[in-house]
Structure 1
Amino acid sequence: MQVKVPMTMMDFFRKSEGVWFSQRAVHHFDDVVNESGESNFIVKVLAKDDPRVIEVCQQQNSDPNLVSGGASFSWQDNLDTDEPPPNYAAILVDVPNPDNPRTGKFLRNRGYVEGIPVVGIYHFADDGVLTIDTEYERNQGQERCWFLTDDFRVRVSTVKMANGVSLMSYSSERRCLTQGMLEAFVEKNRARVGTSSSH
């Protein structure tokens, strides 16, 4: 099945919007025990004039006129139905390169590796693979993400410290069906059955 891959960050946010079931494996290159887990990963697209986008721009002294929008990301336990806690959430703001929208930077109110405001540099390869490089105070992070289908994507991350690679992680993420999506499938099948029975 041919997948239309996003080539700008806002297209990536839009394609990622929804709830994803994430299975993650982490390999530590030190004495820490390797780990794995399952969670829900929730993505919501934000307009460029959203107060949360403006707040991140002000926080990082960035001109809000240069942004194209943003997204909120949050995580929760797979079977948890409550709202994710604030420390399991982040706001990303896209600042595309005006000369090449396949590249740019994003502002993030909380870093993935260190819980501080950070700036990530990104680019999309010709095949649609998104690479993000982030400099923290004590670490360097690189993440790659791509869609295998419209409803299945993969993320691979590495974190480097001064003494080399500290950890690597692999996540496979499958889009969760919403009630609206299920109802649309039912209606589509009803219409298909109705059409075939009329012949």
Structure 2
Amino acid sequence: MTMMDFFGKSQGVWFIQRTVHNFDTSADESGESNVIIDVLTRDDPRVLEVCQQQNIAPDKVSGGASFMWQDNLDNTTPNQNYAAILIDIPDPTNPKTGKFLRNRGYVEGIPVIGVYNFADDGVLTIETEYETNQGQERCWFINDHFRVRVMTVQMINGVKQMAYCSERRCVSDSILEKMVEQNRLRLSANGSSVALK
């Protein structure tokens, strides 16, 4: 698994159910939302803009992804205050590891550079240093349409926040129709084999 493989597998709309534990406040950020993920090529203007902002040569980049969040499953316009562009800079000697540029961080809304690695079982671990926090995120696919993310945010005096997210792909009507048809064909083939016995 490479980061661009991961972006490709993540492309689409995901429904997120999250549980958040804040250790320094009583604020509850648990809830439901959507994330919309699009893969970006290395020559996409948004990729080039982030490279320019962070003084990175575009030839070191393999591509990127755009992330946009919605408050719920409504067809409302995604909230641009929570949009982000991630750019992949793979390690030339080991494509399972590398760095990524982000035009705005998840924990603090500033440009950040993080490091990542994929374990042999496909689990992605991301470490991000912010000005006053350190974030760690792990993400893995249970299957092509369901994935899990766990995150921690830590300050000098200890853990500030932990979160668990289960994410389910929102399947389009055309994909859903294909899935239904595949199941019909599978059931009719199984029915035929049963009838022959």
TM-score, normalization: structure 2?
Answer: 0.91
Aligned AA for 1:9?
M
TM-superposed CA distance for 1:80, in Å, is 2.2
Cα gap change, 1:24/1:193 in structure 2, threshold over 3 Å: closer, same or farther?
A: closer
TM-superposed CA distance for 1:83, in Å, is 2.2
TM-superposed CA distance for 1:196, in Å, is 8.0
- Runs of 4+ more than 6 Å apart: 193-199
Aligned AA for 2:163?
S
What percentage of aligned pairs have identical amino acids? 69
Aligned AA for 2:37?
V
Picking from 26, 48, 52, the partner of 2:46 is: 52
Picking from 56, 68, 71, the partner of 1:77 is: 71
Picking from 2, 5, 24, the partner of 1:11 is: 5
Is residue 122 from structure 1 mapped to residue 116 from structure 2 by the alignment? yes
- Whole-angstrom CA distance in 2 between matches of 1:131 and 1:188: 35
Number of paired residues?
193
In the alignment, structure 2 segments of 5+ residues that lack a partner are none
- Name the counterpart of 2:126: 132
- Whole-angstrom CA distance in 1 between matches of 2:187 and 2:120: 41
- Name the counterpart of 1:170: 164
- Name the counterpart of 1:3: none
TM-superposed CA distance for 1:33, in Å, is 3.2
In the alignment, structure 1 segments of 5+ residues that lack a partner are 1-6
Matched position secondary structure for 2:81: helix
TM-superposed CA distance for 1:31, in Å, is 3.1
Query: Do 2:68 and 2:83's aligned partners in 1 also have CA atoms closer than 8 Å?
Result: yes
Matched position secondary structure for 2:182: helix
- Whole-angstrom CA distance in 1 between matches of 2:96 and 2:186: 40
TM-score, normalization: structure 1?
Answer: 0.90
Cα gap change, 1:50/1:30 in structure 2, threshold over 3 Å: closer, same or farther?
A: same
Is residue 68 from structure 1 mapped to residue 62 from structure 2 by the alignment? yes
RMSD over aligned Cα, in angstroms?
1.8
Matched position secondary structure for 1:58: helix
